[in-house]
Amino acid sequence: MSETASPPFDDLRRLTGPNLYFAEPGAVLETMVGAPVAPALIDAWKRRIARARTALGWPDGPVTVREHASGASLAFAAPADGLYAAADVNEWAWLSALVEAGMDSGEPALQPGHPSLIDDDAALRLLRTVASAERLPHLPALRQAARAHRLPLLLDDEQLSIGLGSGSRRWDNRALPLPGEVPWPELHPIPLALVTGSNGKTTSVRLLTAIAIAHGWHTANSCTDGLYLDGALIEAGDYSGPGGARSLLRNRQAQAAILETARGGLLRRGLAVERADVALVTNISPDHFGEYGIHDLDGLAEVKLTVARAIDAQGMLVLNADNALLRRHATGLDAPLAWFSTDDEHPLLRQARSEGRRSCGVREGHLWLFDGSASHDLGAVADMPLTLGGLATHNLQNCAGAALTALGLGIAPATIAAVLARFGRDHRDNPGRLQRWILGGGVQVFVDYAHNPDGLAQFLSLVRQTRRDGGRLHLLLGQAGDRSDAAIAELAATAAAFHPDHVVLKDMDGYLRGRYSGEVAQLLRAGLVRNGLADAAIVQCLDETEAVRSILAAAGPGDSLALPVHGSAAREQVSALLDQLQARGWNPGDPLAGGDRSP
């Protein structure tokens, strides 16, 4: 028996909703062979999936093989109440295919409590027992009745719910009702938007939420900071995946929902819902390569555009016409498209208007929204606080995308315009995303999330545009530990290209993700020096808040401080500190607190 050079598979996931591979629940396994998978192995895996479906009484459905640089993603659709069994089936099908081919499966061929890798009949008997224990007998009839009533059904490990928000009811999985016991007249959906992309997701979610609240809806939203209702925090944490979405969509106070839909959740579990009214894709740029078989921009675009599976003929998929990757991938989508751009004369926007489709773009300094028949002036771009006088092009794109999405939810252009005219003026509107404080001595402090090379480049470009002659540039720099060494080096190269005078390296609290404290900072330092920055200009202060205090202590008149702050606790502390300094007229060299002049 030969041995493989690496473990036989890298990851096994349950897909609870529409996903990268198909529009149904299922399971996916990531092979770990470091090379293209032999067709004979794929065929053997497929035969076992087909045999398992027959043995378990599961219907036929999609079987998908997505080959990529590190192996292949092997996915198949399965019943929503059989996903643990489906994961076991996928693992058995792959490992037994390896054994049949004379390869090392990494597991004993016979192991108590596990499907046999050499006796298919015995394996299938065990898998039938697993699937039977997981099955929810009332689920098929409930799903059929929910579809007949045109109502969404959400299922997780513990609960099932029908309807959304204020029109929802939920039951424990082991106490499901019969269809005749469901109060169907009381149930209904609520307006629902999904927001994804590489950058700008949280800003867009917050802006959309403010617009929906102004429209009069009690609005729930999820993002990387937590779960919210009408802007009030329900639960802190990264809830940009389907678990957080389902929690919000079962909140009976919610009359509308805006859901941040991040790459990780899409790949690990898929979408939380089968249908949304609108889905917004802000942009696609390099980030998170090497995870779950995604190694390039085209693969990342496919992941983000999973949201298109939730958009039917009555819905709307909102895309950024300024993003070349989205333009290219849009050609294969069936969903009704609506485009936004910083140029209202962009060919895709002109085409949309000629076809009576919706669009949003900038013309003569104003943002114009086309509703399919008429154009609406949403106001001067320079007067929208998020754009910082029109300089923040990426936030102008966020405004246009959010405006178009709000229109798709049925919100009037006048309401959208009113929120665009005020949102971002108060630091509490969009904490941690492109905030500016002007302190004494002309010191400008910018706080942003800027978590990847594209986001950092946009952020530093804006800071450079507002920088005073002779003023120095101070930069806070860190990166999450789950990025590859190459990705960390790319972030350092991006930073070095803007020639900062002073860089403070930090850890990202809560985002070490397997690296030791200071490891990312060492990689960043090496990347900065390699790209021409003097080692003497770089210092290390791993605590985010203390790093910001050290930069403030080093600031001089006219300096610009670019502070990507990522931890939620650090963001709150930094914001409170900057508010205090601004209120008391702090000048460079003044103490930051009390009478102590030290950082």
> What is the rounded average pLDDT for all residues in the chain?
93
Residue segments in the chain with a per-residue pLDDT below the cut of 50: 1-6, 594-599
What is the Cα–Cα distance from 76 to 238, expressed in whole angstroms? 28
How far is CA 37 from each of CA 21, 180, 434, rounded to the nearest angstrom?
A: 18, 49, 45
pLDDT digits (tens, 9 = 90+) for 487-501: 999 999 999 999 999
Supply φ then ψ for residue 261, to 5 degrees: -125, 95
Question: Do the beta carbons of residue 394 and residue 388 sit within 8 Å?
Answer: no
How far is CA 472 from each of CA 10, 77, 444, 562, rounded to the nearest angstrom?
A: 47, 56, 11, 11
Looking at residue 405, its pLDDT comes to 98
What is the Cα–Cα distance from 451 to 201, expressed in whole angstroms? 12
Percent of the chain with pLDDT over 90: 84
In 3-state terms, what secondary structure has residue 370? strand
Looking at residue 239, its pLDDT comes to 87
Looking at residue 34, its pLDDT comes to 67
Of 157, 158, 184, give the one whose Cα is nearest residue 172.
158
How far is CA 7 from each of CA 64, 71, 459, rounded to the nearest angstrom?
A: 22, 12, 41
Q: Which residues contact 320 (CB under 8 A, 6 or more apart)?
A: 197, 281, 282, 283, 326, 339, 340, 341, 397, 401
What is the Cα–Cα distance from 201 to 195, expressed in whole angstroms? 6
Looking at residue 33, its pLDDT comes to 62
pLDDT digits (tens, 9 = 90+) for 289-301: 778 888 899 999 9
Looking at residue 6, its pLDDT comes to 41
Looking at residue 599, its pLDDT comes to 39
Which residue type sits at 525? Answer: R
Looking at residue 78, its pLDDT comes to 98
Looking at residue 545, its pLDDT comes to 95
Supply φ then ψ for residue 233, to 5 degrees: -70, 130
